[in-house]
């Protein structure tokens, strides 16, 4: 699993001109699921995100989590994060899980965040989406999870 995590002032995702998910301050998570991923990887990532201290405290130091600042999370599935572009001009997406594996795991990930008291918005799985965001900082992290551990 691979996630691109961006601290945002606001973010939204639209499908065919209609907004399907939107948050104010919080995290935008672009998420790709690999075929070997399980609920265990979703739990590891959810736990990491809820406690990740990348929001400023009163001195401006990154010392607060999305939970601490009562932020929200916008989760957008993005299988292209697992692309292999080492050969040729067309990337291979063979490392990404098929929809029947990825979609329920992403839904489980969102449920885990909600269970932690985080407000969650989502994109629309499998749709062509337009993502808008204001990256705050900018702060952008790449998080890989495999075999139940952050890599």
Give the catalytic positions in this structure: 78-80
Contact 122, 75 (CB under 8 A): yes
Tokens of 12: 């939204």
- For tokens 């672009």, name the residue: 30
Could you give the C-alpha distances from 25 to 2, 28, 85, 103, in angstroms and in order?
A: 22, 9, 33, 25
CA separation for the pair 145, 122 (Å, rounded): 20
CA separation for the pair 137, 140 (Å, rounded): 9
Beta-bridged to residue 143, according to DSSP, are 3
CA separation for the pair 80, 114 (Å, rounded): 25
Query: Minimal CA–CA distance to 74: which of 28, 140, 132?
Result: 28
């Amino acid at each position: 699993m691979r996630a691109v995590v961006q601290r945002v002032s606001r973010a939204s995702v639209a499908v065919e001109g209609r907004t399907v998910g939107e948050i104010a301050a919080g995290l935008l998570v672009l998420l790709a699921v690999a075929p070997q991923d399980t609920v265990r990887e979703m739990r590891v990532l959810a736990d990491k995100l809820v406690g990740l201290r990348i929001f400023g405290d009163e001195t401006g130091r990154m010392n607060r989590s999305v939970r601490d600042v009562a932020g929200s999370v916008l989760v957008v599935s993005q299988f292209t994060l697992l692309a292999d572009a080492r050969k040729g001009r067309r990337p291979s997406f063979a490392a990404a899980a098929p929809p029947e594996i990825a979609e329920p795991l992403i839904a489980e990930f969102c449920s885990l965040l909600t269970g932690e008291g985080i407000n969650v918005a989502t994109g629309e799985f499998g749709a062509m989406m337009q993502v808008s965001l204001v990256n705050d900082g900018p702060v952008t992290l790449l998080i890989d999870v495999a075999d139940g551990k952050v890599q």
